[in-house]
Structure 1
């Protein structure tokens, strides 16, 4: 099991992206300790404009981990990268995103989830 710390805040969509990519790219199960930065002035000053920030047990920080290539390189340095997952992620990224209209609004996705 891989234990990491994630500096985050409520409603952080980039943090959600990082967690999604982390789950799919890691060679082992990941246990995240989520630290809410909004509750601490010092953490807000340090991480407020940088979140999400992922930290390993040695204190090495990763910024921009929501970018799959950046996260994959960081995981590979630690021997935690699932190589097959990288190929799958790259193949999915190269496929064009589909869109659909619902009630006059455009949504990205494979299909309308209400159908």
Structure 2
């Protein structure tokens, strides 16, 4: 998670509310990696699953829940 990013914090809280302990959450500061920065700088915050599928902000808990349900069937 990018330090000082209030949108990242909001997205993280949405993720905790929706998924809680049912998913593994790895916080990554995209600015610590050139490839991540180049890929996601204009999409922060972004949630990415193990298959590389992403959901970029803005999203609310309902949208996040729908996305998690959709990508969990891949």
Give me the TM-score of the superposition, normalised by structure 2. 0.75
Q: Does 1:44 align with 2:37?
A: yes
Q: Say yes or no: does 1:23 pair with 2:9.
A: no
The answer to whether the 8 Å contact 1:54/1:65 transfers is no
Larger Rg: 1
Secondary structure of the 2:27 match is: strand
- Root mean square deviation of aligned Cα: 2.0
Between the two proteins, the alignment pairs up a number of residues equal to: 71
Gaps of 5+ in 2: none
Which TM-score applies when normalising by structure 1? Answer: 0.52
More helix per residue:
2
Name which structure has the greater RCO, CA cutoff 8 Å, separation 6+.
2
